[in-house]
């Protein structure tokens, strides 16, 4: 998501995704269209005795719409802060809280594997939403009937925050309810197995939610269902890979130095492309006098027109900003680094020396081996000697 920072709370950066700038006026528009029907609902459920005519006159529906929309997203931030404060209490740093089209996301740098910790972190958000709903209702009762617009906003926020808490507790992993389910399953099962089970429940929930949204032309629900399905699949895969790579280091998976294919800065792009075709490699460390000076990839070479490849050298197109990792690092750390840096390979270094290269395909091959044999031993690399 492309986002920008608007502030921080408890040291946690608060960000707005660009999609939020679209959804806020959309929510305001939807709410202003429903002012009359919501007023009737508040009168029936809360005994609000709100007059309809002043609330639907002129620009008042738009004022109410934006006030409620902003209030809802403030509630979402507080909901995510509930998760974040409990997570920080257990020592899990929070990278940021981001508001986007489907609400809010608190980005934990690491997920807890202790079921009690995950349960408390997951339940904290809905508890905060319920508390906001209760406070909004209390304020609704305290505001005099001569201020119907304020009472409308508070009554609406009371209902919506309770609804938000209830919706989030549905078993749609990775929603809060799905995480609570995983925590309960993890009481008696391995964490990876509990994640797979919760993810399967989440996928079924997402399909049902998407079908309901499709039948009722609720495009937002369809979007949420898609997000849940993708999120469940992605996190389940991450957890399974983390379990599979337990105890596996970069040196076990990497292509070691003696087997590396390298190029020099004065290699022509034409020769580079020929080697990529014949050797079936798409990335080469660039070495000069025994020193690592860069990395050149197929993507770099494609930026040169075919007729000019004899005239250009690797030195002119290579990447000098290198992403590296040590041979003793965990294989899972390598994968996470590739994902966070949006790169397909990492140079493995010990001090200033290049000792290997690890790519996504290396990791995927190792993962397949672990899945089939339960160990990377059949393909374990010769250890890199430490000096």
Which residues are the active-site residues?
Answer: 80
Please name every residue paired with 165 in a beta bridge, in sequence order, or none if there are none: none
| Alpha-carbon distances of 381 from 66, 254, 266, 347, 377, rounded to whole Å | 60, 7, 31, 16, 8
The rounded Cα 197 to chain-centroid distance in angstroms is 20
Buried b / exposed e across 215-240, counting CB within 10 Å, b at 16+? eeeeeebbebbebbbebbbebbebbb
Please name every residue paired with 297 in a beta bridge, in sequence order, or none if there are none: 283
Within 10 A of 383 (CB to CB), how many other CB atoms are there? 12
The closest of 139, 155, 132 to 47, measured between CA atoms, is 155
153 and 174 Cβ atoms separated by less than 8 Å: no
Query: Is the bond preceding 138 in cis, omega lying within 30 degrees of 0?
Result: no
Q: At what angle do helices 191-215 and 176-185 cross, to 10 degrees?
A: 150
The closest of 352, 313, 357, 310 to 334, measured between CA atoms, is 357
Distance CA 284, CA 244 (A): 28
DSSP, residue by residue, 207-241: HHHHHHHHHTT-HHHHHHHHHHHHHHHHHHHHHHH
Q: Is the dihedral of CA 155, 156, 162, 163 positive or negative?
A: positive
In a 13 Å sphere around the CA of 75, the CA atoms on its Cβ side amount to 29
Distance CA 190, CA 178 (A): 16
């Amino acid at each position: 998501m492309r986002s920008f920072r608007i502030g921080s709370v408890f040291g946690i950066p608060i960000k707005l995704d660009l999609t939020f700038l679209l959804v806020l006026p959309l929510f305001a528009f939807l709410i202003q269209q429903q002012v009359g029907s919501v007023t009737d609902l508040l009168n029936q459920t809360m005994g609000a005795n709100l007059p309809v005519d002043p609330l639907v006159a002129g620009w008042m529906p738009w004022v109410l719409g934006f006030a409620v929309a902003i209030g809802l997203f403030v509630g979402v931030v507080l909901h995510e802060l509930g998760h974040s404060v409990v997570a920080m209490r257990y020592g899990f740093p929070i990278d940021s809280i981001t508001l986007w089209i489907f609400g809010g996301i608190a980005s934990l740098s690491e997920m807890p594997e202790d079921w009690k910790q995950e349960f408390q972190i997951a339940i904290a958000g809905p508890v905060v939403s319920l508390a906001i709903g209760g406070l909004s209702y209390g304020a609704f009762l305290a505001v005099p009937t001569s201020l119907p617009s304020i009472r409308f906003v508070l009554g609406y926020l009371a209902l919506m925050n309770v609804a938000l808490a209830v919706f989030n507790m549905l078993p749609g992993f990775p929603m809060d309810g799905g995480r609570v389910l995983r925590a309960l399953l993890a009481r008696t099962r391995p964490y990876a197995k509990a994640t797979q089970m919760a993810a399967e429940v989440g996928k079924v929930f997402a399909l049902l939610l998407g079908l309901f949204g499709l039948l009722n032309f609720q495009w937002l629900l369809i979007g949420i269902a898609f997000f849940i399905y993708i999120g469940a699949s992605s996190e389940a895969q991450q957890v399974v890979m983390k379990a599979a790579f337990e105890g596996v280091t970069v040196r076990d998976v990497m292509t070691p130095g003696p087997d590396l294919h390298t190029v020099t800065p004065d290699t022509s792009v034409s020769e580079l492309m020929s080697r990529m075709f014949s050797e079936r490699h798409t990335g080469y460390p660039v070495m000069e006098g025994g020193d690592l000076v860069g990395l050149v990839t197929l993507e770099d070479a494609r930026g040169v027109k075919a007729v000019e490849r004899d005239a250009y050298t690797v030195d002119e197109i290579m990447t000098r900003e290198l992403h590296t990792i040590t041979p003793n690092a965990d294989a899972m750390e390598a994968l996470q680094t590739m994902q966070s840096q949006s790169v397909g390979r990492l140079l493995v270094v010990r001090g200033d020396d290049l000792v290997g290269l690890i790519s996504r395909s290396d990791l995927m091959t190792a993962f397949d081996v672990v899945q089939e044999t339960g160990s990377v031993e059949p393909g374990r690399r010769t250890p890199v000697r430490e000096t």
